[in-house]
């Protein structure tokens, strides 16, 4: 077993998932503004450290994706944030893309930037303790999108990123997110997502990526958020599994779904149904941001010094998702 495969399996073992705490300062400011907490670097750190030092890190969270600001910060106990995460039994990771910009010659689509200087940045992050990384490509759905240009450009960027990450002995999380914004049906989401994932793996193989040392972070197959034709959880699970079976090479050890705008319960419920029906060789888990943190953030905002209360809320959510990653969740457990 390769070292990279080992890391990927450690992150996702026993139903563990990934906490995506890699919100940029801008995004984190929006989240804190929404709960009326000033977005200072101290407050951003306080909320994150509250989560990173919770007991669920031992039992449910296999990896934490950090943002550049956070990976360089020190905890209240004066150890570095990656050290804190490692001591809690989880693995620290880092988001390394620099965000999505308008795609030249296709102004309604985006291309993710950040390849310039990436090799040097990866060495720094690796020294700081990162074991894995994340890069997100985003795709719109409509009659004409994603275009061939967007499919090709984003897949190429994800493959080049993955090659540099593996060269630095870290595991790349490959995140091609087909956005749920729009009126599209679940069938269209299925077709476009399949196309996106196939193109990504075509490029990853071309760039000689060790697929056993990659984690895929895709969207679930859902109808668009403005669609009149919503589908049942069972249909979500069946279509999602069908998509994975037809698009993802067998060598990939694990899939960690993004929540992509679903509510906390919806994301957990769909993950559970997918795992109940999972007849693939993939470990199927979660890499949630808002769907892991939202309730904890609301609770914390009422008294930012109530660490144990906030951790209790977070621990519950993490436990629910780990049960869902094993197909053992039920609505009754939520109360």
How far apart are alpha carbons 64 and 48 in whole angstroms? 10
pLDDT at 1 over 90: no
Look at the pTM and tell me if it is higher than 0.95: yes
Query: Would you place residue 313 in the very low, low, confident or very high pLDDT band (cuts 50, 70, 90)?
Result: very high
- CATH 3.20.20.70 assigned to 3-328: yes
| Predicted pLDDT of residue 62 | 98
* Domain residue ranges in the chain: 3-328
Query: Would you place residue 219 in the very low, low, confident or very high pLDDT band (cuts 50, 70, 90)?
Result: very high
The mean per-residue pLDDT over the stretch 18-45 comes to 96
The mean per-residue pLDDT over the stretch 137-159 comes to 97
Query: Would you place residue 335 in the very low, low, confident or very high pLDDT band (cuts 50, 70, 90)?
Result: confident
| Predicted pLDDT of residue 303 | 96
Task: Tell me the pLDDT tens digit for each residue of 284-293.
Answer: 999 999 999 9
Residues annotated as catalytic (active site), given as ranges = 217
Query: Would you place residue 94 in the very low, low, confident or very high pLDDT band (cuts 50, 70, 90)?
Result: very high
| Predicted pLDDT of residue 329 | 98
Average pLDDT for the chain: 97
pLDDT at 203 over 90: yes
Task: Tell me the pLDDT tens digit for each residue of 101-135.
Answer: 999 999 999 999 999 999 999 999 999 999 999 99
| Predicted pLDDT of residue 283 | 98
The mean per-residue pLDDT over the stretch 27-49 comes to 96
Query: Would you place residue 19 in the very low, low, confident or very high pLDDT band (cuts 50, 70, 90)?
Result: very high
Say what percent of the chain tops pLDDT 90. Answer: 98
């Amino acid at each position: 077993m390769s070292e990279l495969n080992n890391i990927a399996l450690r992150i996702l073992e026993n139903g563990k998932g990934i906490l995506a705490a890699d919100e940029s300062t801008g995004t984190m400011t929006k989240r804190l503004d929404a709960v009326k907490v000033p977005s200072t670097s101290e407050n951003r750190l306080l909320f994150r450290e509250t989560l990173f030092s919770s007991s669920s890190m031992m039992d449910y969270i296999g990896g934490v994706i950090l943002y550049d600001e956070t990976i360089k910060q020190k905890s209240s106990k004066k150890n570095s944030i990656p050290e804190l995460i490692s001591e809690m039994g989880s693995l620290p990771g880092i988001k390394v893309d620099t965000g999505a910009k308008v795609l030249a010659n296709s102004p309604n689509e985006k291309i993710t930037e950040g390849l310039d200087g990436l090799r040097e940045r990866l060495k720094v992050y690796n020294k700081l303790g990162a074991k894995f990384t994340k890069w997100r490509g985003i795709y719109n759905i409509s009659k004409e999108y994603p275009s061939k240009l967007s499919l090709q450009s984003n897949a190429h960027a994800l493959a080049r990123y993955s090659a540099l990450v593996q060269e630095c002995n870290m595991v790349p999380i490959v995140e091609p997110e087909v956005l749920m914004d729009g009126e599209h049906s679940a069938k269209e989401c299925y077709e476009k997502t399949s196309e996106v994932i196939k193109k990504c793996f075509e490029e990853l193989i071309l760039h000689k990526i060790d697929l056993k040392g990659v984690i895929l972070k895709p969207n679930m197959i859902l109808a668009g958020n403005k669609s009149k034709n919503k589908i049942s959880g069972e249909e979500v699970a069946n279509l999602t599994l069908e998509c994975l079976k037809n698009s993802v090479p067998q060598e990939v050890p694990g899939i960690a779904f993004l929540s992509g705008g679903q509510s906390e319960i919806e994301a957990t419920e769909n993950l559970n149904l997918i795992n109940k029906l999972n007849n693939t060789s993939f470990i199927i888990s979660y890499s949630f941001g808002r769907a892991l943190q939202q309730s904890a953030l609301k609770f914390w905002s009422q008294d930012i010094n109530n660490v144990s209360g906030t951790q209790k809320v977070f621990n519950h959510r993490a436990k629910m998702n780990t049960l869902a990653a094993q197909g053992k969740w039920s609505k009754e457990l939520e109360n």
